[in-house]
Amino acid sequence: MSDNIPPVEIQMEIMKQLPVKSLIQFRSVSKTWKSIIESNDFIAAHHHHTHHHRLLVYCDRPVDDDPNYVSFADNHSFPQHKVSLTAPLLVNKLKYLSVDNIVGSSRGLFCFSGYLPYKHIAVIWNPCIRRVVPVLVPKEPGNKFMSRILGFGVCPVTNDPKIIKIRYINRHVHDVERISHIPSQVEVEVEVEVFTLSTGVWRRPYNNLPPKSVSFYKSAVDVDGFLYWLAEDMIVMDDGGGYTRRNVIISFDLSSEEFRQVNLPHSLAHGYYNNISISKLRESLLVSQADNHVNINVWLMEGGLAKSFSKLYTVNVDTWVSGFRRSGEPIIVVYEKISDEVHLFSKLAAYDPYSKCINCFWTGSMYATFKVYPYMETLLLLDQTNLAVYNEKESIRFLDDLVL
């Protein structure tokens, strides 16, 4: 019988194609398999071979205490194969948790941000293996002129999760005249700190930082090793007669840790920022813009350093885009109404931009908020101790405060 067992190398090649759930179970087959599956090399190789793509739908229902998480297989069977996910108890304990507190997703991992008493917490979560890593976010001096935003991504070279904290000038005080009158003792420079999971510490990168004329808004999107934020840049007029604002995209290279600014086409750069959102389609960045509450124009970013944008299609529905399937179909929110002004409840639907067919697949509730995140099954975090806490001496005290 043993003569019919393939060599370990062939076994590994077969296992690289298997779903995460099977691999977790196969660790109990033998010490050799356990060692292989938990090795960093195999985790990285499995990630590059996996074809198990999914969509995580987050639904924040005002009538419920807890948000809902549902995972759909993003393949030909969509939307039949779905599973309900239970968010980690630690995530549900975070104060002020909403759709805006999902920092982002990257390579099958998700990052949340919220608060426990007197502590700002980021939580990295792998829903496939139910592994959670909380991270204490460094405090900074109170400053009414400053705001902060987080980003999350996994370095494509090292497979190392990173959390990026940016402290920037609040857009409400972001003009030449008012900045010039900010007291000299107030720090108005942009500050960036990066947490790397492999080291367990926060540090300040040495490379170029975003200009202080930029204000960030909305969560970052991880695309092909880069984080992208939608931002607003204040441009001083050449005649010295004032300033103007324009929408831009700020990118962060997860490998080199360099920031760059990406200019948008005129209609996007000068549109109302609340009508613009960014999303991920496979390994490309999409920009969606609502057009007078009638259409949504979808743009694709292309190119290397010299980014260019081409219009893909228009969604001819009075709605909003929550995300995209790998096929390119946008996931939209459809509202059922009691009258022209009162919403009864909301649904999620896949929209075919060519046939214009709408396929509703999930019902939310009145005024529910949706967000859709594409992800793939991964073994990342398998080598981490569940609920390991990072950030120097506060870790022990933090653990004592957790009621799990």
Residues 6+ apart with CB under 8 A from 175: 234, 243
Which pair of structure tokens corresponds to residue 293? 């509450």
Residue 23's SS3 state is helix
- Confirm whether 187 is domain-assigned: no
- Confirm whether 376 is domain-assigned: no
Burial of 326 (0-12, 13-18, 19+ CB in 10 A): middle
- Residue 150: pLDDT over 80: yes
Buried b (16+ CB within 10 A) or exposed e, 134-152: bbbbeeeeeeebbbbbbbb
- Positive or negative: CA dihedral 282, 152, 264, 275: positive
Torsion angle defined by CA atoms of residues 378, 381, 386 and 390, in that order, rounded to the nearest 10 degrees: -140
- Supply the pLDDT for residue 26: 84
- Supply the pLDDT for residue 28: 83
Is the pLDDT higher at 402 or at 360?
360
Are 137 and 120 spatial neighbours (Cβ–Cβ below 8 Å)? yes
Kind and range of the H or E run holding 20: helix 20-26
- Confirm whether 203 is domain-assigned: no
Residue 211 binned pLDDT confidence (cut-offs 50, 70, 90): confident
Task: Compute CA distances 154 → 44, 248, 259, whole Å.
Answer: 12, 23, 16
What's the order of all strands across the beta sheet hosting 214-223?
Answer: 214-223, 226-236, 243-253, 259-263
- Supply the pLDDT for residue 253: 95
Q: What is the pTM of this model?
A: 0.87
**What is the Cα gyration radius of the chain?**
22
* Counted domains in the chain: 1
Secondary structure of 134-196 in HEC code, one letter for each residue: EEECCCCCCCCCEEEEEEEEECCCCCCEEEEEEEEECHHHCCHHHHHCCCCCCCCCCEEEEEE
* Average pLDDT rounded to a whole number, residues 103-122: 89
Is the pLDDT higher at 8 or at 302?
302
- Residue 241: pLDDT over 60: no
- Supply the pLDDT for residue 186: 46
Residue 97 binned pLDDT confidence (cut-offs 50, 70, 90): low
- Supply the pLDDT for residue 111: 95
Beta bridge partners of 358: 351
- Supply the pLDDT for residue 174: 45
Question: Over the stretch 305-321, which tens digit does the pLDDT of each residue have?
Answer: 668 899 999 988 878 88
- Extended beta strands in 197-242, E state: 201-203, 214-223, 226-236
Are 383 and 43 spatial neighbours (Cβ–Cβ below 8 Å)? yes
- Confirm whether 9 is domain-assigned: yes
- Supply the pLDDT for residue 393: 46
- Residue 210: pLDDT over 80: yes
Residue 237 binned pLDDT confidence (cut-offs 50, 70, 90): low
* Average pLDDT rounded to a whole number, residues 22-33: 86
DSSP class of residue 368 equals -
Are 356 and 331 spatial neighbours (Cβ–Cβ below 8 Å)? no
- Confirm whether 12 is domain-assigned: yes
* Long-range pairs, 202-208, Cβ under 8 A, ≥24: 202/138, 202/165, 202/391, 205/257, 207/256, 207/257, 207/258, 207/259, 208/258, 208/259
Question: Over the stretch 63-80, which tens digit does the pLDDT of each residue have?
Answer: 665 668 899 999 999 999
Question: What residue numbers bound the domain in which 6 lies?
Answer: 1-50
End-to-end, the C-alpha distance of the chain in Å comes to 47
- Confirm whether 127 is domain-assigned: no
- Supply the pLDDT for residue 404: 43
Report for 15-24, 137-146, 190-199: range of highest mean pLDDT: 190-199
- Residue 403: pLDDT over 50: no
* Average pLDDT rounded to a whole number, residues 358-381: 85
Q: What is the mean pLDDT of the chain?
A: 81
Q: Which range (92-106, 118-132, 172-186, 253-267) has the least confidence?
A: 172-186
Which pair of structure tokens corresponds to residue 295? 């259409």
- Confirm whether 151 is domain-assigned: no
- Confirm whether 86 is domain-assigned: no
Are 333 and 346 spatial neighbours (Cβ–Cβ below 8 Å)? yes
